[in-house]
Amino acid sequence: MTEKTQSDDKRLVVVSNRLPIAVGEEAGQWRIKPGSGGLVTALAPVIKARQGLWIGWPGCGEGPPLDELFDNFGREQGYRLAAVPLSEEEEERYYRGFSNSALWPLFHDLLGNCRFRGDDWQTYLEVNRRFADVVASRTGEDDLVWVQDYQLIMVGAQLRELGLRQKLAFFLHIPFPTHDLFRRLPWNREILTALLAYDLVGFQTLRDRRNFVNSAIALIPELQVERRQRAQTLIRYQGRIVRVGHFPISIDFAEFNDAARSQEVADAAWYLHENLEGRQVMLGVDRLDYTKGIPERFRAFERALEKYPDLHRNISLLQVVVPSRTQVPDYQDLKQTLDRLSGRINSRFGEPGWIPIHYVFRSLERTQLLAHYRTSEIALVTPLRDGMNLVAKEYCAASVENNGVLILSEFAGAADQLGKHALLVNPYDVEGTADAMHRAFTMPGEERRRRMGMLRTQVRRYDVHHWVRSFLGALSTGTQLP
């Protein structure tokens, strides 16, 4: 944004399922720490500059003295927090139920994993309404409210019902499915009309944006598409204009690049590779999730080992799986599948002194994560579907030796930006993915450097600060009819 626009002056209120904090007890004292995810890094400077407010679920029960902790946080961090508490039952139905067992699989094209339950939907509505009540009580006419992600789609419409007229924006971090899939959702119209209550709706990719517009046209005959522009589609609905755009999220390139060059990371990277005795490391880092394509990746690696004997003893797949949603049955099944597959492949191909798959089921400290990125010759980012996938971008930013090869799924949002210089694969194609692994393994140094150089330029240029600026810039263009 080069010009100062009306929205630049407004206080920014961010609403997300989780607050960007960790509340914990240390030596008998409650403490609050700022979170470290990409969204906090991107939004913290903007929200600070506008003395803003972040509203969300604190992720803890009723034990901690939140008012006092939030006051301290506000003084130290320069922006305020407001909590929306959730009961156990709400967590079950709104979060694990409707959000993660209906919307999550459906929006990732995995209809077979969907469970559509009326009582989960009701709780989703109630919890969204509670978020809306907190937003309404804590904001005024001049604030700009930015709601994040699929857990809170209804908040905008509920705020309109409460009479709020201020600017409301929404960003969907996960994909938006095709109309044919989306219409299977029993509450499809409710979700669409709720999205149309915002002034600006942002998606990760042009494909997601088109899928949404096509669903809206098909399912809501009353709406009109006013204008289709490269940057935005303008929809007229109930006398208002809704802007729909795509804004690929990214990372703080400079922060990753600088941290990856630190001595601490260099030492950890050296140590890691030393233990792997000079062989190439192919790295996967994923949350435990059936959308990430981890079993498919293991099978492709197994096929590569069958097909290409030169890989034996010369490469190891290092797969980090971060435990997640472990109370949901589908996730428990996935964990068992991974244990079984990695055991089978290691016992089939392993030899004294060489383990084909190092499979780690825990999260890594940040230094370790950066060391893994920096030292791995190949990164495998092969989700079956993904909104963006920040691991792909983090790997490029931390690949400071400039010689890593990125193998990337064509179904990750990141493929739109990185696809030209990564090795693109269809994760369902075991043979093709196995061939890409071998191609990465044998890629000459010069080609590696050329490709990684282009990837790093792309991630550097379109970093997360660019994402925030372009999203808020689109909102500033106003809501008048063209």
The secondary structure of residue 362, as a DSSP letter, is: S
Active site residue 8: no
Contact segment (CB under 6 A) with ligand GDG among 311-319, 387-395, 422-430, 467-475 equals 387-395
Identify residues 207-266 at the interface with ligand GDG (CB under 6 A): 249
Q: Which residue among 108, 173, 372, 421 is the active-site one?
A: 173
Among positions 390, 406, 459, 475, the unique one binding ligand GDG when judged by CB under 6 A: 390
Closest to ligand GDG by CB, 106 vs 388, is 388
The secondary structure of residue 300, as a DSSP letter, is: H
What are the helix (H) ranges across 32-142?
38-49, 66-77, 88-90, 104-107, 118-138
Cα–Cα distance, 47 to 39 (Å, whole number): 11
Q: Is residue 406 packed enough to be buried (19+ CB in 10 Å), middle (13-18) or exposed (0-12)?
A: buried
Closest C-alpha to 281, from 374, 344, 393: 374
| Nearest-approach distance from CB 40 to ligand GDG, in angstroms | 11
Contact segment (CB under 6 A) with ligand GDG among 89-97, 184-192, 267-275, 363-371 equals 363-371
Contact 170, 201 (CB under 8 A): yes
Contact segment (CB under 6 A) with ligand GDG among 18-26, 48-56, 383-391, 452-460 equals 383-391
Query: 3-class SS at 75?
Result: helix
Among positions 14, 102, 132, 174, the unique one binding ligand GDG when judged by CB under 6 A: 174
| Nearest-approach distance from CB 259 to ligand GDG, in angstroms | 11
| Nearest-approach distance from CB 472 to ligand GDG, in angstroms | 16
Residue 328 lies near ligand GDG (rule: CB under 6 A): no
Element (H, E) at 466: helix 464-476
Residue 372 lies near ligand GDG (rule: CB under 6 A): no
Residue 388 lies near ligand GDG (rule: CB under 6 A): yes
Among positions 366, 420, 450, 461, the unique one binding ligand GDG when judged by CB under 6 A: 366
Closest to ligand GDG by CB, 159 vs 369, is 369
Closest to ligand GDG by CB, 69 vs 381, is 381
Q: Which residue among 252, 386, 435, 463 is the active-site one?
A: 386
Task: Count how many residues are written for the chain.
Answer: 482
Contact 13, 139 (CB under 8 A): yes
User: Going residue by residue from 1 to 40, which x/- string records binding to ligand GDG, judged by CB under 6 A?
Assistant: -------------------------------------x--
Among positions 197, 320, 334, 425, the unique one binding ligand GDG when judged by CB under 6 A: 320
Task: Tell me how crowded residue 378 is: count the other CB atoms within 10 A of its CB.
Answer: 25
Contact segment (CB under 6 A) with ligand GDG among 15-23, 217-225, 295-303, 386-394 equals 386-394
Contact segment (CB under 6 A) with ligand GDG among 162-170, 208-216, 330-338, 360-368 equals 360-368
Q: At what angle do helices 430-442 and 294-307 cross, to 10 degrees?
A: 60
Residue 173 lies near ligand GDG (rule: CB under 6 A): yes
Residue 386 lies near ligand GDG (rule: CB under 6 A): yes
**Please, how many CA atoms are within 13 Å of residue 377, restricted to the half-sphere of its CB?**
21
Query: Count residues contacting ligand GDG (CB under 6 A)?
Result: 19
Residue 97 lies near ligand GDG (rule: CB under 6 A): no
DSSP string, 183-239: TTSTTHHHHHHHHTTSSEEEESSHHHHHHHHHHHHHH-TT-EEEEE-SSEEEEEETT
| Beta-carbon contacts of residue 45 (< 8 Å; ≥ 6 apart) | none
Closest C-alpha to 252, from 407, 468, 419: 468
Closest to ligand GDG by CB, 12 vs 164, is 12
Contact 287, 383 (CB under 8 A): no
Residue 322 lies near ligand GDG (rule: CB under 6 A): yes
Active site residue 173: yes
- The end-to-end CA distance of the chain, in Å, is 21
| Nearest-approach distance from CB 369 to ligand GDG, in angstroms | 5
Q: Which residues are catalytic?
A: 173, 386
Binding site for ligand GDG (CB under 6 A): 38, 173-174, 249, 285, 287, 320, 322, 363-364, 366, 369, 386-391, 394
